[in-house]
Amino acid sequence: MGGLNIKGVPFFKPSIRDEEIEGVTEVLKSGWLTKGKVTEEFEKECMKFLSASACLAVSSGTAGLHLALLGLGLRPGDEVITTSLTHVATVQSILYVGAKPVFADIEPETMNISPDEVLKKVTPKTKAILPVHFAGHPCDMDALREIAQKYGLSIVEDAAHAFGASYKGKPLGSNGFGDITVFSFYPNKPITTGEGGLICGEKERIDKIRVLSHHGIVYPSRGRLWRYDAVELGYKYNFTDIQAAIGLAQLRKSEKLLLRRKRIFERYNEAFKHEEALITPVIKDYASPSYYIYPLRLNLRALKCSRDEFAFALEQEGVGISVHYSPPVHLHSYYRRTLGLREGDLPVTEEASRSELSLPLYPDMRDEEIDFVVERVFKLIKSFKR
């Protein structure tokens, strides 16, 4: 294998080039830095790319989830079924509107929320399902949609990992899956704007959310921005033209970035597929993922170490890693305390959380760096194998 002269590989590096820098420079020179014409252009280009009815760029994916739930009219006493194998932001957005998060277990193969487990959690108080497309692999949206239609529920898709992913040939964010889809543009996401998020849905609903995203304000006349009316209790969640300039440059090369991510993912899968101590990620027939991360899982029964011990050793070998997610949300101290949750409540989620290890995956990663990572993983497997 190659990579012998490499000192180390970081978990992630953003793919930023001259086009992003030039776009930001143009905005800075224009004198208009906040939300304006460049943001409008970015939203329009996202609509085209995703085949979405309407798009609204906001300050973060978390802000997008909060606004999505507000836009659906969620309120105190309502229940929202979601996954615990996610960033805490997913669950925080439910609490922001006063609703109660209800956790369903996951599918062991995809690590996405299990429709069968969702069905077990539906009560008369349930108003919505909030699936997370884990690692950029789409959830089983047909099954979730069937449950939602049967019980009159809304679906908000947390697609923070999944910009560019498709379900049965249709991009996530287009019509026909959830009621609202929310993406994140954090630096390590499939495309980035530094910080930021995107909300997709029907135009009427997005127009309502747009008002909430900027202090609840409407402008009777675009020509007189000093005259406005606050018609709702809104929030300061708007995007900026600086972010939009980065986003436009990223969007133009997004397919190229996705293809490179896919290639790295496939290289890892090919390298690890015959090793009994490793569980490689599965891609379902209905899914075209965004390849956001490479979620390798350790078969801990075949190893004389924990996931954390393996991860620390891999870092010592010069490989940057992350974990998605440890602990799962329901085992964080706040949620144990406020929701009365405990270990053992979600056995499949907890097993995935104990065994998952995300390897470096980013578009600028060189082939010799992939070889370096693979070589170091096998070195540790040899050391830790029973």
Alpha helices (H) along 124-185: 141-151
Q: Say which residues have a Cβ less than 8 Å from residue 243's Cβ, sequence separation at least 6.
A: 39, 57, 185, 193, 194, 195, 196
Q: Are 300 and 326 in contact (CB under 8 A)?
A: no
CA 371 from chain center: how many Å? 27
- Rounded-to-integer distance, Cα 267 and Cα 252, Å: 25
In the chain, the amino acid numbered 257 is L
The three-state secondary structure class of 156 is strand
Task: Point out the catalytic residue in the list 35, 127, 189, 208.
Answer: 189
Distance between CA atoms of residues 303 and 280, nearest Å:
16
The closest of 300, 303, 320, 301 to 311, measured between CA atoms, is: 320
The span from the CA of 217 to the CA of 141, in Å, is: 35
Amino acid at 28: L
Q: Show Cβ contacts of residue 204 under 8 Å, excluding neighbours closer than 6 positions.
A: none
Which of 285, 89, 296 is CA-nearest to residue 197?
A: 89
Whole-angstrom distance, CA of residue 249 vs CA of residue 251:
6
The phi and psi torsions of 81 (rounded to 5 degrees) equal -85, 130
Cis peptide before 237 (omega within 30 of 0): no
> CA 223 → CA 30, 42, 217, 264, distances in Å?
19, 22, 15, 50
Is position 189 annotated as part of the catalytic site? yes
Rounded Cα distance, 148 and 358, in Å: 32
Residues annotated catalytic, as ranges: 189
